Amino acid sequence: MNMPYTMVPPGQHRLPPLPYPYNALEPVISSKTLQLHHDKHHKAYVDGLNKAEISLVQARERKDFEYVKYWENELAFNGSGHILHSIYWTIMAPPGTGGQPGPNTLYQINNYFGSFNAFKEQFTNATEKVEASGWGILTWQPTWRRMEVLQSEKHQNLTQWSGTPILVCDVWEHAYYLDYQNRRGDYINAWWKLINWYEVERRLAWAINALVPLTLNGT
């Protein structure tokens, strides 16, 4: 049997390259912010995920699970951080190049939220009001065959199982503080200008039809 995808072995995750230069998202997101965010912050989640997986391999080999709770926590936090950042880079594009919401995206948004503006208002408010560090997330929930807007604290809390993130907005301070200081709302309003609606449409089509996981670039 031919397997279309092969597994990522434990500890073998890699930082995916940015799909554009550091300055591509200016003036919404500065080159300095993008470089630090990708090269340092995202990298740390990749490293943390690899370390957690290797540590759990060792725990299984040694039959020593004294620290299993700690490593499972690291697995959830860093694994979710790696996945969400990998999506975040791809659903953004240089201002003016991301097109408009695609037909499936608009259909599913209208179908559940009633209108694009109703969705956008909920997403914007939910994202702005994430407590401390986290994300605003538009998911496809296959269990209910529709979209939903969720907040995620840190990377992994307050989510619904089995949902697939379609559109994600990082509101950790490292995503905006150099450019917007404490004005999280200004960052989110400007961030809408960066959406790569072609990629959102592609992700949604994949999620609705998914039989196998979407391979993330670099994983």
Applying CB under 5 A, among 87, 91, 159, 170 the residue interacting with Mn ion is 170
- How many CB atoms neighbour CB 26 within 10 A? 16
Q: Which residue is nearest to Mn ion (CB)?
A: 170
Per-position DSSP letters for 60-86, written without gaps between them:
HHHT--TTHHHHHHHHHHHHHHHHHHH
CB of 81 to Mn ion, least distance (A): 7
> Does 74 help bind Mn ion (rule: CB under 5 A)?
no
Task: Quote the tokens at residue 121.
Answer: 């208002």
Residue 214's alpha-carbon distances to 47, 99, 122, in angstroms, are: 21, 22, 27
Select 170 or 199, whichever has its Cβ closest to Mn ion.
170
Residue 56 or 171 with smaller CB distance to Mn ion: 171
Q: Least separation, in Å, of the C-beta of 174 and Mn ion?
A: 5
- The residue within the footprint of Mn ion, chosen from 45, 172, 180, 187 (CB under 5 A), is 172
Minimum CB distance to Mn ion smaller for 89 or for 172:
172
b/e map 129-168, b = 16+ CB within 10 Å:
ebeeebbbbbbbbeeeeebebbbbebbbeebeeebbbbbb
Nearer to Mn ion, 39 or 64 (CB): 39
Least distance CB 110 / Mn ion (angstroms): 30
CB closer to Mn ion, 170 vs 179:
170
- Nearest CB to Mn ion, comparing residues 186 and 208: 186
Q: Is 22 in the site for Mn ion (CB under 5 A)?
A: no
Cα(99)–Cα(18) distance, integer angstroms: 19
Q: Which segment (52-60, 110-118, 166-174, 211-219) binds Mn ion by CB under 5 A?
A: 166-174
CB of 176 to Mn ion, least distance (A): 10
How far, CA to CA in Å, does 187 sit from each of 44, 99, 175, 182, 200? 23, 20, 9, 9, 20
Q: Which stretch binds Mn ion (CB under 5 A): 13-21, 143-151, 170-178, 189-197?
A: 170-178
Residue 15 CB contacts under 8 Å (≥ 6 apart), including other chains: 38, 39, 42, 43, 46, 218
CB atoms closer than 10 angstroms to residue 72:
13
Task: Give the residues lining the site for Mn ion (CB under 5 A).
Answer: 170, 172
